[in-house]
A and B are shown apart, each in its own frame.
Chain A
Amino acid sequence: MAERIVVDARGSFCPGPLMELIARLKFAAVGEEIEVLSTDKGSAADIPEWLRKVGHELLDTREEAGVWHIALRKSK
């Protein structure tokens, strides 16, 4: 399996992490997995909400030492 693409948005505030994710998502292929790293708690809640709205698959969210890891699969 191909490696996950990592979008490192640590230190960026809302909506920075979301916009960084979307910029990278444009160049990803359908089915590819992306993991966003964010230190912004608001984005950790807002990115899954955006995925639901737009229709990409949320795989996992977890917090580790103040960093949220949001994993998703490009679905379309």
Chain B
Amino acid sequence: MSAANKIGIVVVSGSLERLQMAAMMASVAAVSDNEVTVFLSMNALQYFRRNAPRPAAEGEFGELLVQKKAPEFRQLFQSAVELGDAKIHPCSMAVDILGIDTSDLEPWLGEPLGLTRFLSQTQGAQVWSF
């Protein structure tokens, strides 16, 4: 059996479409024998607070995602963790700038991570950014 491939996913956008694509990528990768690490920063992080509002759509496709009831992106990220053992971390800098108490974040997120740690965890990995 081959060793797991490492996949890193950096999410900085707060648009519904980008969050959805990142969540699809994370969940499918995590359940397909890959070691997945997700790093949430900038405009993305606020949507991982408990009871966060739905992010705004960038365009018509985002409206369709809502209308057609595509799987909700937070649920997909949660499945990535629960079914595929993905690690999803808030960026420690974004946590500080937003002044978030980590207990206000979704409970399936990992500890805040700095870039040094993220970079070492994803060394040699395939990295995607959204």
Interface residues of A (CB under 8 A from B): 11-16, 18-19, 22-23, 26, 50, 53-54
Distance between Cα atoms of A19 and B70 in the complex (Å): 13
Contacts of A14 in B (CB 8 A): 24
Q: Is the CB of B27 within 8 A of A15?
A: yes
Interface size on B, residues (CB 8 A): 14
Q: Is the CB of B71 within 8 A of A19?
A: yes
Distance between Cα atoms of A12 and B75 in the complex (Å): 13
Interface residues of B (CB under 8 A from A): 24, 27-28, 31-33, 68-71, 76, 79, 83-84
Q: Is the CB of B70 within 8 A of A13?
A: yes
Q: Is the CB of A23 within 8 A of B33?
A: no
CB distance from B1 to the nearest CB of A (A): 9
Contacts of A19 in B (CB 8 A): 27, 31, 71, 76, 79, 83
Q: Is the CB of A54 within 8 A of B83?
A: no
